[in-house]
Amino acid sequence: GGGPLGEPRAHNQITALTDPSAIDLRSDTVTRPTPAMRLAISEAIVGDDVFGDDPSVKELEAFASRMFEKAAAVFCPSGTMANLMAIMAHCDARGSEVIVGSDNHIIMYEQGGIATMAGVMPRTVPTQKVPDDQTPVGGISLAAIEQSIRADDQHFPATKLVCLENTHNLCGGSVLPTEYVDSVGTLCRQKGLKLHVDGARIFNAATVLGVSVARLCKAADTVSVCLSKGLASPIGSLLIGPEDLIRRARRHRKVLGGG
Report the pLDDT value the prediction gives residue 139, as an integer from 0 to 100: 98
Mean pLDDT, consecutive 10-residue stretches, the chain (259 aa), reads 44 61 82 91 93 94 98 97 98 95 98 96 97 94 98 96 97 97 98 98 97 98 94 93 98 95
- One-letter amino acid at 248 equals R
Strand-pair partners of 99: 123, 162
Q: Angle at Cα 90 formed by Cα 226 and Cα 64, nearest 5°?
A: 35
What type of residue sits at position 170?
L
Sheet with strand 222-226: strands edge to edge: 72-76, 237-241, 222-226, 194-199, 158-165, 96-101, 121-125
pLDDT of residue 32: 87
CA distance 180 to 191: 17
Q: What does the pLDDT read at residue 28?
A: 86
Longest dimension (CA), the chain: 61
pLDDT of residue 2: 40
**What is the rounded distance in angstroms from the CA atom of residue 241 to the CA atom of residue 27?**
27
Which pLDDT score is estimated for 6?
44
Bridge partners, residue 179, by sequence:
none
The contacts of residue 150 (CB under 8 Å, 6+ apart) are 97, 156, 157, 158, 159
Rounded to whole angstroms, the Cα distance separating 246 from 89 reads 8
